[in-house]
Amino acid sequence: MLEQDIERVLFTEEELKQRVKEIAQRIDADYAGKEPLLISVLRGSFVFMADLVREITLPCTVDFMAVSSYGGGTTSSGQVKIVKDLSEQIEGKDVLVVEDILDSGNTLSYLLKLLEARHPASIRLCTLLDKPERRTKPVAVQYTGFTIPDEFVVGYGLDYDEKYRNLPYIGILKPRVYGGE
Ligand code: PRP
């Protein structure tokens, strides 16, 4: 059972639903009259993205990109690899990048630069979780769900060693699971 590896629940399903709704309302207001293109950065953001788009009432489109930086461990290696690129051109579009977590900033600073070079009309970042304590590269973020301490979190799309993504809440992983004390 996945549950027994969780030390405590950080955000319940209800809390996540409520916060996602609030973010969607802000996006609806900020992009009124526009048709944003939401880009989900796989794999972690797939759950957040699915819930977020269903709370947005504006017409919008979606695309997906997969990058990898962590391997199987808990810290960023500094290497960012594009595993899957977008299916569509983004030139002239109002792009909103959707992430599950902003940690060192390594992935997003690289990705935002890469996307900016494709000349979108605008580009913004929406992250469900932000761990500002861990930042080593500055990243401008316009929509943040929750600012969290430096704990190892899983669930709601977030993994450890590719598991736990299917937990419907966000929980803190027991350190023994990843070889901590
Ligand atoms: C997570 C997250 C970001 C990145 C953030 O992805 O989705 O892309 O790490 O960390 P950073 O700010 O230190 O770069 P991960 O590499 O775990 O892959 P996943 O989305 O497939 O789980």
Ligand 1 centre from 79 Cα, in Å?
11
Residue nearest to atom 20 of ligand 1 (CA): 44
Tell me the whole-structure pTM to 2 decimals. Answer: 0.94
**In a 10 Å sphere around its CB, with 0-12 CB exposed, 13-18 middle and 19+ buried, how is residue 107 labelled?**
buried
- Write down the pLDDT at residue 82: 92
Protein residue whose Cα sits closest to atom 1 of ligand 1: 101
Please tell me which residue in 103, 130, 150, 161 is annotated as part of the active site. Answer: 103
pLDDT at 181: 65
Strands (E), 27-115: 37-42, 61-68, 81-84, 94-102
Residue whose CA is at the smallest distance from ligand 1 atom 21:
43
Is 30 one of the annotated active-site residues of the chain?
A: no
- Residues of the chain with pLDDT below 50 are 72
Q: How far is the CA of 37 from the centre of ligand 1 (A)?
A: 21
pLDDT tens for 67-118 read 887 554 555 556 788 999 999 999 999 999 999 999 999 999 999 999 999 9
Buried b (16+ CB within 10 A) or exposed e, 15-37: ebeebbeebbeebeeebeeeebb
Does the C-beta of 94 come closer than 6 Å to ligand 1?
no
Ligand 1 pocket, residue 130 CB under 6 Å? no
pLDDT value of position 70: 56
Strand ranges inside the chain, DSSP E? 6-11, 37-42, 61-68, 81-84, 94-102, 122-130, 143-147, 153-154, 170-173
Distance CA 181, CA 175 (A): 6
pLDDT at 180: 73
